[in-house]
A and B are shown apart, each in its own frame.
Chain A
Amino acid sequence: MATTTTTTSTREQEEAKNRNIWSGGVSPLKASYGKLMMWFFLLSDAFTFSSLLVSYGLIRYAYPAYEGDIDNFTFSQDYWPVPEKVYEAVPFLHGVELPLVFVGIMTFILILSSVTMVLAVEAGHRMDRKSVVKWMLWTIVGGVTFLSCQAWEWSHFIHGTEQGGLMSDGTIFYGANLMMNQYGPPLFADLFFFITGFHGFHVFSGVILNIIIFYQAAVGVFERRGHYEMVEKVGLYWHFVDLVWVFVFTFFYLI
Chain B
Amino acid sequence: MAELDETSSVSFEPADKKTISKYVKIAVIMGVVTTIEFVFAIFLPRGPLLYFTFIALTFVKAFYIVAEFMHLKGEVKTLIWSILIPLIFIVWLIIALLAEGASIFSLKF
B and A form one assembly? yes
A residues engaging B (CB < 8 A)? 28-31, 36, 39-40, 43, 46-47, 50-51, 54-55, 57-64, 70, 82, 84, 99-101, 104, 107-108, 111-112, 114-115, 117-119, 122-123, 126-131, 218, 220, 223, 235-236, 239-240, 242-243, 246-247, 249-250, 254-255
B residues engaging A (CB < 8 A)? 4, 7-8, 10-15, 19-20, 23-24, 26-27, 30-31, 34-35, 37-38, 41-42, 45-46, 51, 54-55, 57-58, 61-62, 65-66, 68-70, 75-76, 78-79, 82-83, 86-87, 89-90, 93-94, 97-98, 100-102, 104-105, 108-109
Would A246 and B94 be within 8 Å (CB), given that A99-B41, A111-B31 are in contact? no
Which chain A positions have C-beta within 8 A of B26?
115
Closest Cβ of chain A to B72, distance in Å, is 8
Q: Number of A-B pairs whose CB atoms are under 8 Å?
A: 152
**Within the assembled complex, what's the spacing in Å between the Cα atoms of A119 and B108?**
52
**Option from A54, A62, A119, A240 in Cβ contact (under 8 Å) with B105:** A62
Contact A129 B90 (CB under 8 A): no
Closest Cβ of chain A to B103, distance in Å, is 8
Which chain A positions have C-beta within 8 A of B79?
29-31, 36, 39
Give the 9 A-B CB pairs with smallest separation, nearest first: A61-B101, A58-B101, A62-B104, A128-B12, A58-B97, A127-B12, A250-B58, A126-B13, A115-B27
> Please, which residue of chain B has its CB at the minimum distance from the CB of A122?
B19
Task: Show 8 residue pairs from A and B whose CB-CB distance is below 8 angstroms, ordered by the A residue.
Answer: A50-B93, A57-B101, A61-B104, A62-B104, A122-B19, A126-B15, A246-B58, A249-B58
**Option from A82, A118, A119, A128 in Cβ contact (under 8 Å) with B13:** A128
Contact A131 B93 (CB under 8 A): no
